[in-house]
Amino acid sequence: MNFSEERNKRTAYIESILQRYLPPAEGYQKIIMEAMEYSLMAGGKRLRPMLMWETFRLFGGQGRKIEPFMAAIEMIHTYSLVHDDLPAMDNDEYRRGRKTTHIVYGEDMGILAGDALLNYAFETACSAFDDEETDPVQAGRALQILARKAGIYGMIGGQVVDVKESGHAVSGETLDFIYRLKTSALIESSMMIGAVLAGADKDQVSAMEKIGEKIGLAFQIQDDILDVTGNEEDLGKPVHSDEKNEKTTYVTWKGLEKAREDVARMTEEAVKELRRFDAPDDFLEQLLVSLVGRKK
Ligand code: GRG
């Protein structure tokens, strides 16, 4: 398999889904649809819907019933980036290689575009109930996972502690809490929802949650590493933003070398867990491994 060719194909497939689920830009509120499209279609790795799709395939899922959830997870992820870039949070002007949403549309529309993407994500996921192919119990379970992992016991909870603990040193335990919620939770939910909609059982869904947690931690530590060692051109966003925001990160806590070792170790552990399942091909494994040395 040519991994990068396969990855490009999947990225194009995901972008076609996003485009299809975006609301048409019309009506008096047209500007909000434009701001939603601006942020959602700005590129990005599309990692979360890709993980969802691959986990769906891992458990023998077929057909298109997963698509509204793939769109929904990327909308939620994008809203979190739009809000994270706002002046009240990280106050960043560039993301995914272009001006941030609030710079282009103003702070008011930046806030509303984030809100709109979050709400529209749930409207989109709920459209699964209109699809005759989808088991409504599975769709309900998937929605429950999405809501929980994006909320105060997931991504928002992690962001709250991250914001409150900026500007001073934090313990390793607090950092671990932030990373598990802020970053791992959405990745866990991607894999869990893929499994649920493919008809996986409880133990299988919980195995995906554990793999997602490890991948999320490795992904966040790599993000910390890139903030120190990466460049703006590759990343499409400013570097040294953790230093600017006086954040304790895994790199400031453990040092660069240990951080690199731990990204590789956590990824290896996740891949080992994954090998217990009979994958249709090795794309998912290669995807996880590719995240270790990623430059963006
Ligand atoms: C504002 C509620 C709220 C939450 C914000 C996700 C987040 C919490 C903030 C974004 C900044 C950040 C460093 C988040 C950690 C997760 C992470 C590394 C996000 C970047 O994800 P990528 O690299 O982005 O997948 P692309 O652009 O490729 O989609």
**Distance, CA 185 to ligand 1 centroid (Å)?**
11
CA 278 / ligand 1 centre spacing (Å): 31
Q: How far is the CA of 201 from the centre of ligand 1 (A)?
A: 30
**Which residues sit with their C-beta closer than 6 Å to ligand 1?**
44-45, 47, 80-81, 83-84, 96, 155-156, 159, 182-183, 220, 223
pLDDT at residue 1, as a whole number: 85
Q: Give the residue whose CA is nearest to atom 15 of ligand 1.
A: 183
pLDDT given at position 129: 98
d(CA 90, CA 73): 22
Contacts of 50 (CB under 8 A, 6+ apart): 7, 10, 11, 14, 287
- pTM of the complete model: 0.96
Q: Which domains does the chain have, with CATH numbers?
A: 3-293 (1.10.600.10)
pLDDT in tens, 230-263: 998 888 888 888 888 888 999 999 999 999 999 9
Give the C-alpha separation, 3 to 293, whole Å: 15
Q: How far apart are the CA of 136 and the centre of ligand 1, in A?
A: 30
Nearest-angstrom CA–CA distance, 164 and 91: 16
- At 113-135, the pLDDT tens digits run 999 999 999 999 999 999 999 99
